[in-house]
Structure 1
Amino acid sequence: MTSPDNSVPLAEADLDALVDEWLDWNETAKVLGVTPAKVRTMIKDHEIAAAVPKPGMAPSVPAAFFQDGLIVKGLSGLLTLLHDRHFDDRECIAWIFTDDDIPGRPIDALRENRGTEVKRRAQVLGF
């Protein structure tokens, strides 16, 4: 998969440059009020996504995936849709944090309760 402008494969995107703030699994667990083991399960079940932002860092979760102690509405469904299109977590995060013609980044649209347009855009990926 490539970025919306077809310039860089999503798997090679500089996630640390795209995402402002990362949470390790312990911090993610605190935000959600669950255990780190539950965070691992949530990642495996595509409720949230994690990736290594840059070499030497542990797998982390974008802080923008959470709002008021909850997972941003629509994120889990979007991640499932992207995984069904054979995106891995790294590609999902890159796509969600890349400026597109939605307008803006998909994560911003989700946080502003504009998830329908994001899902429509994701549904046509790969066609």
Structure 2
Amino acid sequence: MSDVPLAERDLTALVPEWLDWNQAAERLGVTPGKVRTMIRDHELAAAVPVPGGGPKVPADFIQDGVVVKGLPGLLTLLHDHRFDDRECIAWLFTDDDLPGRPIDALRENRGSEVKRRAQVLEY
């Protein structure tokens, strides 16, 4: 496991592709305002990957025109553990506990193991 706290991890190194809210809206077939609502409601997470830039959504959160199955529930669980969006994104894209990154497991419909790992997190 990495000794760097989640909040301090370099998201640009962890997340290969970012979408601004307009791009995310286009991929989801919704308005940018709906993307903002989805972020507020923890259906999606956003962070500012580069200081001075705007908030962005990891492209891997969207698959085949919809939010990756299991992501909203997992984000809610992580927020219940007092993670902010930046920490949620860092956790999802870090290969610390699972064989592979949690986001990859979600995208491959292996969300049960990811959820179990998240349920025992301490922060």
Tell me which interval the TM-score lies in, with the shorter structure as reference length.
over 0.9
User: Does the 8 Å CA contact 2:2/2:96 hold for their aligned counterparts?
Assistant: no
TM-score, normalised to structure 2's length? 0.97
Equivalent residue, structure 2, for 1:16: 12
Q: 1:122 aligns with which of 108, 118, 121?
A: 118
Q: Is the contact between residue 100 and residue 106 of structure 1 (CA under 8 Å) also seen in structure 2?
A: no
Q: Which residue of 1 is the match for residue 54 of structure 2? A: 58
- Whether 1:7 aligns to 2:32 is no
Separation in 1, partners of 2:82, 2:2: 17
1:28-72 Cα deviation digits (max 9, x unpaired)? 000011110110000000000000001122100000001100100
1:103, 1:75 → 2: CA distance? 18
Counterparts of 2:99 and 2:69 in 1: how far apart (Å)? Answer: 18
Question: In 2, Cα distance between the equivalents of 1:88 and 1:24?
Answer: 19
- Alignment partner of 2:23: what SS? helix
1:90 is aligned to 86
Aligned length, in residue pairs: 123
Cα RMSD of the aligned pairs, angstroms, is: 1.0
- Moved runs in structure 1, 4+ residues, more than 4 A? none
What CA distance in whole angstroms lies between the structure 2 residues aligned with 1:124 and 1:6?
Answer: 17
- Taking only the aligned residue pairs, the percentage that are identical comes to 76
CA distance in 2 between counterparts of 1:14 and 1:121 reads 22
Partner AA of 1:52 in structure 2: V
Could you tell me which runs of 5 or more consecutive residues in structure 2 were left unpaired when the two chains were aligned.
none
**Residue 100 of structure 1, CA deviation:** 2.2
| 1:31 and 2:27 aligned | yes
TM-score (norm 1): 0.94
Cα distance between partner residues in 2 of 1:101 and 1:29: 32
